[in-house]
């Protein structure tokens, strides 16, 4: 088995930007070292950027940009509207693009901190 692929949700990037010593930062560091391969979409990165800017401020946003440059995640193709629609009953409209992209990417793991929508029997 090769390097495991992690599809990373915006919540992980947000947590890492807010807590450089926390668990999310640790996982991203493992990806940087080649232990795992980080996957995401541009939409996930835009969501992370918007929330970091709004909730955490300029210093955290700078950490996000620096970490992203070091991480160099594989940017996956956005899922189709049909693929997203198929995931809406499972995680809801707001998060369907994340689940659809993770499935489409062939990731081994979808890494998210969104317990309310992703830690359910449906997922």
pLDDT digits (tens, 9 = 90+) for 60-112: 999 999 999 999 999 999 999 999 999 999 998 899 999 999 999 999 999 99
Number of Cβ atoms within 10 Å of the Cβ of 9: 25
Q: What value does the mean pLDDT of the chain take?
A: 94
Which one is the CATH code of 4-76+107-114: 3.40.50.300, 3.40.640.10, 3.65.10.10, 3.40.50.1010? 3.40.50.1010
Q: Output the CA–CA distances (angstroms, integers) from residue 81 to 38, 45, 61, 99, in the order listed.
A: 24, 19, 30, 13
Rounded Cα distance between 119 and 116, Å, is 6
**If DSSP codes are grouped into helix, strand and coil, which group holds residue 49?**
helix
Task: State the pTM of this model.
Answer: 0.93
CA distances from 113 to 1, 16, 34, 85 (A): 26, 11, 22, 22
Candidates 1, 34, 36, 32; CA nearest to 111 is 36
């Amino acid at each position: 088995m090769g390097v495991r692929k992690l599809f990373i949700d915006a919540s992980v990037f947000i947590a890492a930007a807010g807590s450089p010593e926390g668990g999310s930062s640790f996982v991203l560091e493992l990806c940087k070292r080649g232990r795992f391969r980080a996957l995401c979409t541009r939409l996930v990165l835009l969501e992370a950027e918007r929330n970091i800017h709004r909730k955490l401020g300029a210093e955290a946003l700078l950490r996000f940009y620096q970490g992203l440059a070091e991480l160099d995640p594989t940017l996956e193709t956005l899922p189709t509207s049909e693929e997203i629609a198929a995931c809406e009953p499972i995680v809801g409209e707001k998060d369907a693009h994340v689940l659809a992209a993770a499935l489409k990417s062939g990731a081994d793991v979808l890494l998210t901190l969104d317990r309310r929508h992703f830690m359910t029997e449906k997922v």
